[in-house]
Each structure stands twice: as structure tokens, then as C-alpha cells.
């Protein structure tokens, strides 16, 4: 059995590092060590834990080039994407939760509705140890968003990164330790699916998983058997609706970036472009021209480029198979359409025209640099097509009428719908990142996401402590029953009937 995983750059095949495989039978002991350390961490005030996030922010600022370089080597990402998509986004998340965490986690009063002599409040306490099973497409910002929020909530965290992109997880942990974190509060374990399963089975109190629908079902089932909460983000098939009054230049630019950033390996990528028949002939040539201008490249080189490689050969094979299926069923390749021969797992930035709903490219998640285009007549038909997918993470609407765009957005079954923008909501730490349908359960980011990392505990207390007993306690008395009947009419009756029952 192998004892380590070798990591090769997907752009050129060069060996860039290795990590030791964590034996699955060692995971439970790691979780228990984290649990022991978590007790003292949870006892610290939220304000102190928030101040720690500010220290992490300072260390990340100082080491941003190291993170970007690591992402370039192990993912093949353009350095601009590593900087903006991952480093900047995490800096923003650290800032938001450091500033707002104390407010979000303060006790929440509940107004009494019936028993006015008593009051209630919700207070938030950490769950214990958070297990994070992370993907390869954003291997820094996704897991360490959960790390930052989990630590702020008072939890310890154990991260299992993808076996394709583990190096940046080790670097991220190092940055957190440099900021002063107890090493036992944050662990990174490495390996394949058996190590991820061992983490879920290792006594963690909550799981955050990002990945495929098929694996997400298994994660949710394992968590259900153990009665621990889980959050699953399982990908999307995001539609973009280009209405007849859309701004052609801005929309074409947005669609190009929204479909092809990170080589299309984004769960929020535009994977279905629905263009109104009235603007189709004007819009599509502009889009095609912009995609034709994109440059493929290797982040380890010196030349500037826009689109990097896919993460591995398997992912490139999936993209190629979906494109070939579409062409066989009548799609037209306007630009791109094939793999790039030579070192690295490159696939040409692609636009497919004349796509129909019978093609796999419009039903299965592509996760590659392909924009399939459908010509559709009318908004109702666009909405119907947008909602046809079994996935519902993100969707986009482009129109010059912002209010109208919002009304259409409310008709789309997706966790987030952006009007006249793409992808950027993941960088807004204050907003929930969540899917509907098969795109997952629960949410990350947002105040709700932070609160869900805690146990929400209810306290109910008396504000009239001198009562000797409650009327509904033993012993039951007939006079109290009559009083209750009159009270029910007064409390829940309406109009004249209410008065009659009160005086009966």
C-alpha cells in the first residue's frame, strides 16, 4: 500500500510535492486530540476568537504569494485567479466574521406570545469538532472558510483535502499556526475516500462536505446514521438567462468569465446559456469573439494567460465525452471543442451552438471550459428550461431592467440568483451559499452558516418568581377548567364570539 501521494502540476506533469497518507485507523485519535484542545478554546470569549481571525488575516497578507504559488503549482491556476478567487476571498471572510461574529453569536431573545410571565432566549455553543471534506477546485478558500468560521464558533477542525490538491491545505494550516493557534485545534489529514469516511466515522460532531452528488449522498447517509448534522454543497448546472434587452457587451464579458474562469471548474459556472431569440444573432458573435481571444497557459511559465488546465485526465475525459455527445446530436462548435495535445490536461475554451435539452451537456455537470448555448423564445420558456435541471445552486439573469430581473430571479429554483453578475456571491461572506434540489443541504458563509456550527440552545426563565404554582399543575380543579375555557375564548376567539366566551 502507498504511504504517500505525489502531486504533479496538471499543466506540465512536473512533480511539485508529496504528502503522507494518514492511516484511516489513526483518524479517531486525531479527532480526540482535537476534542481535548477544543474545551479550552470554547471557553474563550467570542471577541478573543475574533481577534485571532485578525491575526490570521495579517499572516495571510504576508504570505499571499506563497499561497498563490502553491495553487499555481498544484492546480495550474492563473495567478490572478489564485489571488482573487482564493486569497482575497478568504481575507474578506476573515474580516467579515472577525467584525460581526460577536453580534451573530450573541444570545437571541424570543418574545413571549402566551405565557407572558416567562421569557426565553437562544444562546449558541460550539458543537465540538468539525470535520471538513474539501474539493480540489478551490482547495484553499473552501476548506479554510469552514476553518475560520468553525474556530470562531469555538470548534476544533479536522480537514481532509482532496488527494489531487493537498499541498495548499498544509500551507493553510501553517499560516493559522503562525498566527498563534494551538496545533491540536486544526489538523489536516491526507488520503483517499477511505480517509474521508474514517473522519466522518471518527467522532466528529458536524461535517461540511463539498463535492459530487453521488458522494454527497453517501456522506449524508453516514451522518444520518450517526445523528450528526452535515452541510453538503454538491455542485450545480447554473443557467444564465440573457433577456432581449440585456447589455450585449457587458453580458458577453460576464458570460465568458462566468463560464470559463478556473477552466470552468466552478460549481457556479455558467453551464447552460439561454439566449432570447430576439437578441441571439446580435449576442452570440460577440460572445464567440471574446472566447476566441482567451489564452491557454501554464502558471509555472512567465507568459500571461487566462485559462489553465483541468485538474486531471479523468476530468478532461468527462468534458471531451460531453462535447462529443453534443456534436453527435447536432450541436455546432463555434470555437474550441477539443483537447490540446501535449503535456498537461488542457481543453480548448469552447462555445457550442444549437444545443438542445436532449444533450448530456445540458443535463450533466460539465466542470470544464464549455459554454453550451440554447436559443429560446420568451421569458416563460427560459424560466421553464432553467428550472428543468435536478440541480439548483446558482443562476443568472441579464437585463437592463433590474427590477424585472429580480422578479424573474424569484421564479428560478436556485439557492442564489444573481442579476447582471456572475460567480461573485461566493466572495460575499455575509450571504448564504446554498443549493436547492440535488445541489445540497444547509449553507456555508452568512450568519446562518456560522450559527449552524453551534448548538442553538433554548433557555426559558421566570420573570414573576413569586407564584406558588402554575394553574395547570396538579391537582386538577374544576374551577380552573372553567377558567381555562373562558380564557381560550378570549385568547383565540374573534369578534363578538370572543366577547361572548369571555363573559360566559
What residues are annotated to the active site? 233, 267
C-alpha 293/C-alpha 291 separation (Å) is 5
C-alpha 375/C-alpha 104 separation (Å) is 45
Residue 483 cell numbers, joined: 377558567
Looking up cell 490538491 gives 165
C-alpha 219/C-alpha 171 separation (Å) is 26
Query: Could you please report the per-residue DSSP string of 457-491?
Result: EEEEEES-TT-S--TTSSSP-HHHHHHHHHHHHHH
Residue 463 cell numbers, joined: 420573570
Residues contacting residue 371 through CB under 8 Å, at least 6 positions apart: 255, 256, 259, 260, 270, 271, 273, 287, 291, 350, 351, 352
What does the radius of gyration of the chain's CA atoms come to, in whole angstroms? 27
C-alpha 231/C-alpha 208 separation (Å) is 5
Q: Tell me the CA distances in angstroms from 314 to 128, 296, 308, 319, 325, one per residue in order.
A: 37, 19, 16, 9, 17
Tell me which residue of 136, 141, 144, 166 sits closest to 345, measured CA to CA.
136
- Alpha helical stretches, state H, 63-207: 64-75, 79-81, 89-104, 141-152, 167-178, 193-200
C-alpha 145/C-alpha 60 separation (Å) is 13
Q: Do the Cβ atoms of 362 and 372 come closer than 8 Å?
A: yes
Amino acid at each position: 500500500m502507498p504511504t504517500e501521494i505525489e502531486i504533479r502540476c496538471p499543466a506540465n506533469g512536473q512533480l511539485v510535492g508529496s504528502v503522507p497518507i494518514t492511516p484511516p485507523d489513526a483518524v479517531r485519535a486525531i479527532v480526540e486530540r482535537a476534542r481535548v484542545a477544543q474545551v479550552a478554546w470554547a471557553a474563550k470569549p467570542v471577541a478573543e476568537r475574533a481577534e485571532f481571525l485578525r491575526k490570521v488575516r495579517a499572516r495571510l497578507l504576508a504570505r499571499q504569494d506563497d499561497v498563490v504559488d502553491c495553487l499555481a503549482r498544484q492546480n495550474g491556476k492563473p495567478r490572478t485567479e489564485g489571488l482573487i478567487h482564493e486569497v482575497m476571498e478568504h481575507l474578506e471572510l476573515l474580516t467579515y466574521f472577525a467584525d460581526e461574529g460577536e453580534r451573530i453569536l450573541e444570545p437571541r431573545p424570543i418574545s413571549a406570545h402566551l405565557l407572558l410571565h416567562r421569557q426565553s432566549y437562544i444562546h449558541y455553543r460550539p458543537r465540538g469538532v468539525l470535520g471538513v471534506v474539501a474539493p480540489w477546485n478551490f482547495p484553499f478558500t473552501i476548506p479554510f472558510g469552514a476553518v475560520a468560521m468553525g474556530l470562531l464558533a469555538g470548534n476544533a477542525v479536522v480537514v481532509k483535502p482532496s488527494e489531487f490538491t493537498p499541498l495548499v491545505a498544509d500551507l493553510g494550516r501553517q499560516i493559522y499556526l503562525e498566527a498563534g493557534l494551538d496545533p491540536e485545534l486544526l489538523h489536516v489529514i491526507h488520503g483517499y475516500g477511505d480517509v474521508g469516511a474514517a473522519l466522518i466515522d471518527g467522532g466528529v460532531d458536524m461535517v461540511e462536505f463539498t463535492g459530487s452528488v453521488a458522494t454527497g449522498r453517501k456522506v449524508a447517509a453516514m451522518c444520518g446514521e450517526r445523528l450528526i448534522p452535515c452541510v453538503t454543497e454538491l455542485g450545480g448546472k447554473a443557467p444564465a438567462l440573457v433577456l432581449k434587452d440585456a447589455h450585449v457587451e457587458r453580458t458577453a464579458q460576464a458570460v465568458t468569465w462566468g463560464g470559463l474562469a478556473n477552466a470552468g471548474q466552478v460549481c457556479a459556472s455558467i453551464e447552460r446559456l439561454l439566449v432570447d431569440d430576439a437578441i441571439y444573432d446580435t449576442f452570440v458573435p460577440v460572445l464567440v469573439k471574446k472566447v476566441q481571444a482567451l489564452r491557454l497557459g501554464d502558471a509555472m511559465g512567465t507568459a500571461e494567460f487566462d485559462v489553465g488546465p483541468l485538474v486531471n485526465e479523468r476530468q478532461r475525459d468527462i468534458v471531451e465525452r460531453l462535447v462529443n455527445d453534443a456534436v453527435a446530436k447536432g450541436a455546432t462548435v463555434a470555437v474550441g471543442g477539443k483537447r490540446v495535445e501535449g503535456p498537461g490536461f488542457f481543453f480548448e475554451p469552447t462555445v457550442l451552438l444549437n444545443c438542445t435539452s436532449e444533450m448530456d451537456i445540458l443535463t450533466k455537470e460539465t466542470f470544464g471550459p464549455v459554454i453550451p448555448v440554447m436559443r429560446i423564445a420568451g421569458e416563460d420558456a427560459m424560466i421553464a428550461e432553467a428550472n428543468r435541471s435536478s440541480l439548483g445552486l446558482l443562476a443568472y439573469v441579464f437585463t437592463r431592467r433590474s427590477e424585472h430581473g429580480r422578479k424573474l430571479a424569484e421564479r428560478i429554483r436556485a439557492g442564489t440568483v444573481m442579476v447582471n453578475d456572475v460567480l461573485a456571491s461566493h466572495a460575499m461572506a455575509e450571504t448564504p451559499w446554498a443549493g436547492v434540489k440535488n445541489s445540497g443541504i444547509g449553507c456555508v458563509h452568512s450568519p446562518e452558516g456560522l450559527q449552524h456550527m453551534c448548538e442553538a440552545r433554548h433557555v426559558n426563565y421566570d420573570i414573576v418568581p413569586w407564584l406558588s404554582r402554575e394553574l395547570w399543575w396538579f391537582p386538577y380543579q374544576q374551577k380552573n377548567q372553567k377558567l381555562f375555557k373562558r380564557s381560550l375564548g378570549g385568547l383565540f376567539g374573534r369578534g363578538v364570539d370572543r366577547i361572548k366566551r369571555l363573559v360566559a
